[in-house]
């Protein structure tokens, strides 16, 4: 009987230790590139200040990190803005919540053929990111510049089908966001998220059109609904919303990363 009790106690202690270790480990998804470097600074702070073990998994597309969060492979991801997350929630039935805000990374329109938007000719081919919200984001920029007219400029998920006036006869190509820098030589202009523009050597100083700091597309740390107030998640958020992380983003992005928590 004594051996059984001791064995049971040992198993309980082991299970408690494993549960505690699980609570102190967070699996975070990011998109490969400089944003991962920013998250690594937050991970180092979280380990130093809170004893968290943050495991970062890098992805090369915008869809898989949300699928991994939904199926429990990740505890959180940090790569998307709220409109994109909401579009995925509506399209795929995910049950996500926002744990905290990170940075605004303004989107820009780039060209290797023209130096200003005024030079863009009639009939120009414009490449757009094909994910629901970033495509609308790009079209809204064109609308706000008076280059096209959308039937509803408040529709964050607008597509070329929502263009009701196209006086310059622009041709639109819908391309996966990660591929946009590669197709830039083949089109007249391409809207490229900073996630992919910066590694390709593009800066907002090069953009023919760009969002301002007032952009509503602030990036977020997304979690499964119900996890947003977990202590370890909020410790990660605190670590991210720090001066060290802001300094790293400034080093990597310059003025192209605007803190969204201030």
In this model, does residue 21 exceed pLDDT 60? no
Which helix (DSSP H) or strand (DSSP E) does residue 250 occupy? helix 243-253
In this model, does residue 13 exceed pLDDT 90? no
What single-letter DSSP state applies at residue 24?
T
Question: Which pLDDT band, with edges at 50, 70 and 90, does 8 fall under?
Answer: low
**pLDDT value at residue 133:** 75
**pLDDT value at residue 105:** 83
Which helix (DSSP H) or strand (DSSP E) does residue 231 occupy? helix 231-240
* Assigned token pair, 215: 């952009």
Given 3.30.565.10, 3.10.310.10, 3.40.190.10, 3.30.70.1710, which CATH number is that of 26-106+216-259? Answer: 3.40.190.10
Contacts with 44 (C-beta within 8 Å, 6 or more apart), sequence order = none
Q: Is the pTM of this model over 0.95?
A: no
**pLDDT value at residue 135:** 94
31-84 pLDDT, tens digit each: 999 999 999 999 999 999 999 999 999 999 999 999 999 999 999 999 999 989
198-221 pLDDT, tens digit each: 889 998 889 999 987 667 788 999
**pLDDT value at residue 244:** 98
* DSSP per position, 110-178: E-SS-SSGGGPPTT-EEEEE-SHHHHHHHHHHHHHTTSSEES-TT-TT--GGGEEE-TT--EEEEE-GG
* DSSP per position, 194-221: HHHHTTTT--GGG-SEE--TT-S-EEEE
| Residues of each domain in the chain carrying CATH 3.40.190.10 | 26-106+216-259, 108-210
In this model, does residue 184 exceed pLDDT 50? yes
In this model, does residue 246 exceed pLDDT 80? yes
What's the CATH fold of domain 108-210? D-Maltodextrin-Binding Protein; domain 2 (3.40.190)
CA-CA distance, 68 to 74, in Å (whole number)?
6
Contact 219, 102 (CB under 8 A): yes
């Amino acid at each position: 009987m004594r051996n059984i009790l001791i064995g049971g106690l040992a198993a309980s202690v082991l299970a408690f230790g494993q549960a505690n270790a699980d609570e102190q480990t967070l699996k975070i998804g990011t998109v490969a590139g400089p944003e991962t470097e920013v998250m690594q600074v937050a991970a180092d702070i979280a380990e130093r200040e809170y004893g968290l073990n943050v495991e970062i998994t890098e992805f090369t597309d915008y869809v898989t990190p949300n699928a991994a969060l939904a199926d429990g492979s990740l505890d959180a991801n940090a790569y998307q803005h709220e409109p994109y997350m909401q579009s995925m929630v509506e399209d795929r039935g995910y049950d996500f919540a926002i744990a905290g805000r990170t940075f605004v990374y303004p989107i820009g329109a780039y060209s290797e053929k023209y130096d200003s938007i005024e030079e863009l000719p009639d009939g120009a081919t414009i490449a757009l990111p094909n994910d629901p919200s970033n495509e609308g984001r790009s079209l809204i920029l064109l609308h706000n510049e008076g280059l096209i007219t959308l039937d509803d400029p408040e529709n964050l998920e607008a597509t070329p089908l929502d263009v009701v006036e196209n006086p310059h006869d622009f041709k639109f190509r819908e391309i996966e966001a990660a591929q946009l820098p590669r197709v830039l030589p083949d089109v007249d202009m391409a809207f490229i998220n900073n996630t992919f523009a910066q590694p390709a050597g593009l800066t907002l100083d090069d953009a023919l059109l760009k969002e301002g700091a007032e952009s509503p597309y602030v990036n977020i740390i997304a979690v499964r609904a119900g996890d947003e107030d977990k202590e370890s998640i909020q410790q990660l958020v605190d670590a991210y919303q720090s001066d060290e992380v802001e300094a790293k983003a400034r080093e990597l992005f310059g003025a192209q990363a605007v803190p969204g928590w201030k």
